[in-house]
Structure 1
């Protein structure tokens, strides 16, 4: 983490906090020091724009965080010569892997930008900055920090919980790692802080109280708190005016769609601020590199009308017969990255209800997602079979989003499905660059 701090301290003083979507289309203030960045309403809004831009960075939701996770699942093949990403597919990731460092740095940069907002917005003296707007920006910062620590926790286990802005290496010296349980506890604390500050509105690219509820549902699912997971998921699944499932499946990404009712939260890009997903997925015939591609097992599932239904729209084939993922296809690469979709909330509710042995309710929520995919209702009747049906549905529904590997780990199914029996491989190694500059940072077991 210290190498992150060195990098961030050097660049944060000179980088503008640029825009991400309509809210983010305000010209940022350039060349402003940290001590001056948040001094009034305008600079507070600029800081929040920079925070969302960091969330959408290519090292985070713009590509690397997502690809590192779905490459560890069982849906893809590796087609490139670079071994740095192949390590994820083979579950043999080294501490010196550049992609691991990239993601670690990107997420902690997002944390630090949220920390600046949390620390400085309450003290801003500006008569043009009403409390309601101040609260909203502060709530958004708490939410984004919660999301960042959730992603750090599920990727590395326990991590260093940096809760103050970092302006020098000494600021977090000797900060020991927290456990994964404590990391998730901090996520919940931040979400509880965010909820009353945020408006009860619907926004696809900025955090609201509803976005908090969605992440709480996911967090409670990961912690095995079934009643709470169902409670928070249902807050959105019952809001059918604002969050209906879009039919057919590709409605939320096809035809250059953005901000559809499918999205609870998505990241936004522009022609001047593109994401890196497209080039990794698209084949050379379409101007991409096709570094990875759907594997034969996944293609057999998604192209089977009785299993994949209309979700076969997420894959395509070149004239030469090459299969590729087609969720990210725009040129320039302005495709949104999907952080939370309403389909996930339906399947969270289904899984939580199944765990509570409310099998009829579980089937209703599962079948809502299946119906949108053009599939018949599930034939599963027992708790075990319903849970397996939900697992299989999530595999297809979120094939090109960062869920499958984490799902297998959190449910204890990674060994049975992928053959990875070494539990040390269920989290990634701490980047070696971080260990070399911070002697208090301890490597995850099995990576020494």
Structure 2
């Protein structure tokens, strides 16, 4: 698996959208000679994982799900764009700050549709293969994995862009994409309801085909299993419940479905909460393959499945790094995202009793409210930069050049779903299903592990679930979507009420997409609000 993923990720890194399907790839997955046995099918499925991972390792979900909350701020010399969290100036046409309308690279959905194209092809081809070519149950399992990946990808598309093209056909001939006059066939945007319905249909197929596995044969969460499919089902059902409520439609069945899926994952899956005893326990959790690994992206320098942190990834945006030459002034303190003191009450209101603040972050007690820099009047001590430690696991590049001071490979997995996430999502579903008592038990379990021994006694358990999800999952790409789903925006002015009403939580579409597909129109809120 690791060699396949590495080669495909390398290809993704050097390929543009238009030359992605190069002859070597076409020979691999389109040629009828390829789909001859189980090994071929496994190779194709691993290729789908590689495409999905290639789309996700660039930290885009961290930027979409965390930086957009406004809790993080860019450093004096680098970090994420402040357009992710600052309101745009839409009155002055010449002002280049158009919020998300200034970030065209994040408005391009091409990487997601590459995954969709590969899943469509792989499902079609494996389904057509004779059952006797596979070991017992393996054909169904492989199909289940691909259905899961297609559902997950469409879930991302629906929560990021809302309305989007719905493509389920396997592309195996140029006649399917080019008409008789040689023009590209265009596909319009389907509704967010239709996209999520497709995700739900696919994930239900995955749940039926996949098994939980046991702790003895657990694959460390890097391959889809029944539990990961049920986690996705919970997410997709709760998002559909949100959409139906927004549209004035009944949503009780989707909430009940979410409860059932998440209960099954919690009760029957081989997962358990990891201890929060000390920094070593947290490092082990994010290293990967822990008891909380429901589904995660495998990032391992030892297995040649990694990337240089100075070239990209979440570490490049969040982590201080020990310079190889020992010069502390090169530790990137001014070049990463950080948490200002004024935002900390939203994340850990019970600090210092809440041990997660110091376990997940460096220098949480810092009072700095402006970025560290050598020219700052107050923020002059690099030791007082509050930074995210979750993904601070590196291995030195043995081929580093003498003038490369932060030549490290990333060496920890990236969680898509972890067990804490699943349990808190179940608590949310319980509350919406009229089972607040069941939710309170989960809330108190999470609070106790964090060092908050006093049980929750408030009268707004949903707000407490949102608080615990904020405290637990910050940095993992979930929070902004949680807040949209529940209209829970306490950190004004990240999402003004009018922007929310106009569905401005959906992203604009890039000019490249609008130009190449004439049937795609701009996301309504962003008409006239982009720089392209």
- The answer on 1:197 being equivalent to 2:209 is yes
Say which is worse superposed, 196-205 or 325-334, in terms of deviation: 196-205
Report the CA distance between 1:349 and its aligned residue.
1.8
Equivalent positions of 1:172-251 (< 5 A) are 173-201=185-213, 202-203=218-219, 204-224=221-241, 225-239=254-268, 242-248=270-276, 251=281
Report the CA distance between 1:85 and its aligned residue.
2.7
Unaligned runs of 5+ in 2: 1-14, 88-98, 242-253, 308-312, 324-330, 364-380, 395-408, 528-532
In structure 2, do the counterparts of structure 1 residues 378 and 151 end up closer, same or farther at CA, with 3 Å as the change threshold? Answer: farther
Contact 2:131–2:139 under 8 Å retained in 1: no
Alpha-carbon distance between aligned partners in 1 of 2:73 and 2:343, rounded to the nearest angstrom: 10
- The answer on 1:314 being equivalent to 2:314 is no
Equivalent positions of 1:97-116 (< 5 A) are 97-101=104-108, 104-116=109-121
Report the CA distance between 1:107 and its aligned residue.
1.6
Q: CA RMSD in A?
A: 2.9
- Deviations 1:68-96 (Å, cap 9, x if unpaired)? 22111132111266798322122511276
Alpha-carbon distance between aligned partners in 2 of 1:297 and 1:47, rounded to the nearest angstrom: 49
Alpha-carbon distance between aligned partners in 2 of 1:416 and 1:292, rounded to the nearest angstrom: 17
In structure 2, do the counterparts of structure 1 residues 233 and 277 end up closer, same or farther at CA, with 3 Å as the change threshold? Answer: same
Q: Which residue of 1 aligns with 2:405?
A: none
Q: Which residue of 2 aligns with 1:283?
A: 320
In structure 2, do the counterparts of structure 1 residues 258 and 284 end up closer, same or farther at CA, with 3 Å as the change threshold? Answer: closer
Instruction: Work out the number of aligned pairs and report it.
Output: 424
- The answer on 1:141 being equivalent to 2:146 is yes
In structure 2, do the counterparts of structure 1 residues 378 and 419 end up closer, same or farther at CA, with 3 Å as the change threshold? Answer: farther
In structure 2, do the counterparts of structure 1 residues 192 and 320 end up closer, same or farther at CA, with 3 Å as the change threshold? Answer: closer
Q: Which residue of 2 aligns with 1:170?
A: 178
| TM-score (norm: length of structure 1) | 0.85
Q: Which residue of 2 aligns with 1:24?
A: none
Equivalent positions of 1:337-352 (< 5 A) are 337-352=414-429
Higher radius of gyration, 1 or 2: 2
| TM-score (norm: length of structure 2) | 0.73
Alpha-carbon distance between aligned partners in 2 of 1:186 and 1:284, rounded to the nearest angstrom: 42
In terms of fraction of residues, the more helix-rich structure is 1
- Deviations 1:241-272 (Å, cap 9, x if unpaired)? x2111111763544873210111111102323
Report the CA distance between 1:128 and its aligned residue.
4.4
Q: Which residue of 2 aligns with 1:447?
A: 526
Alpha-carbon distance between aligned partners in 2 of 1:359 and 1:138, rounded to the nearest angstrom: 37
Q: Which residue of 1 aligns with 2:288?
A: 258
Report the CA distance between 1:174 and its aligned residue.
2.6
- The answer on 1:11 being equivalent to 2:37 is no
Alpha-carbon distance between aligned partners in 2 of 1:221 and 1:126, rounded to the nearest angstrom: 36
Say which is worse superposed, 148-157 or 34-43, in terms of deviation: 34-43
In structure 2, do the counterparts of structure 1 residues 303 and 349 end up closer, same or farther at CA, with 3 Å as the change threshold? Answer: closer
Contact 2:284–2:290 under 8 Å retained in 1: no
Contact 1:311–1:373 under 8 Å retained in 2: no
